[in-house]
Amino acid sequence: MSSFQQALLLLSIALHYLYSAEASAALVTCGSVIKLSHARTSYLLHSHEIAYGSGSGQQSVTGYDSSDDANSLWIIRGLKGHWCPQGSSIKSGFQLRLQHASTRKFLHSHHFESPLSGQQEVSAFGSDTDSDDMDIWQVDWDKGAGEWTQDQQVRLRHAHTGVYLASGPQRRGSWSIY
């Protein structure tokens, strides 16, 4: 094999691995650290260690409009007691938990009324070792088939109450579920 053919073969192999890495980097998988933005407002799902003054009194979850905000990072986890191996693909209908990266609390909901929207409150609750069924969300998208990829519009449905996560129009930054 000539040195020119060897160089072409190496370039072909390198491009194949680069292409494969880019394709898998676009997948959202178990263990991924993500930011979720509202489709219409682009506000990020955000939380920090400030509790609601009413309702559940749990850690507040709001919308935030800064893309470089570390308090808008969420880790995709499997259900409590069910290991979700890092890198495992996620299909429409998959049930998961979203863990806030900095406070380690899980995205949570229940039948408390949101102090901002009047709808069902969304909060962050629990810890690495404390999680319950109110932390379970189902991810869905219109196409139904395939794996969750970056930039894909998805809906999060609370598994226990059956309502969807949404950003309320009443006040900038309020998140509730309808």
Long-range pairs of 48-51 with CB within 8 A, sequence gap ≥ 24: 48/102, 48/103, 49/103
Q: Residue 119: what pLDDT? A: 85
Q: Kindly tell me if the per-residue pLDDT of 17 is higher than 80.
A: no
Q: What is the DSSP string of 28-67?
A: -BTT-EE--B-TTT-PEEEEEEEE-SSTT--EEEEEE--T
Q: Kindly tell me if the per-residue pLDDT of 175 is higher than 80.
A: no
Query: Would residue 46 count as lying in a domain?
Result: yes
CB atoms within 10 A of CB 123: 24
Count how many domains the chain has. Answer: 1
Confidence of residue 113 (pLDDT cuts 50, 70, 90): confident
Query: Would residue 22 count as lying in a domain?
Result: no
Confidence of residue 9 (pLDDT cuts 50, 70, 90): very low
Query: Would residue 44 count as lying in a domain?
Result: yes
Whose CA is closest to 171, among 68, 66, 72, 62?
Answer: 62
Inter-CA distances, 78 with 99, 116, 168, 178, Å: 10, 30, 27, 24
Enclosing domain of residue 75: 28-177
CATH number at residue 75: 2.80.10.50
Query: Would residue 12 count as lying in a domain?
Result: no
Query: Would residue 8 count as lying in a domain?
Result: no
Query: Would residue 125 count as lying in a domain?
Result: yes
Long-range pairs of 129-132 with CB within 8 A, sequence gap ≥ 24: 131/80, 131/97, 131/106, 132/80
What is the overall mean pLDDT for the chain? 81
Query: Would residue 7 count as lying in a domain?
Result: no
Query: Would residue 54 count as lying in a domain?
Result: yes
Lowest mean pLDDT segment, chosen from 44-48, 87-91, 171-175: 171-175
C-alpha span between 161 and 139 (Å, rounded): 14
Kindly report, residue by residue over 148-158, the tens digit of the pLDDT: 999 889 999 99
Kindly report, residue by residue over 117-135, the tens digit of the pLDDT: 788 999 999 999 999 999 9
Q: Residue 76: what pLDDT? A: 98
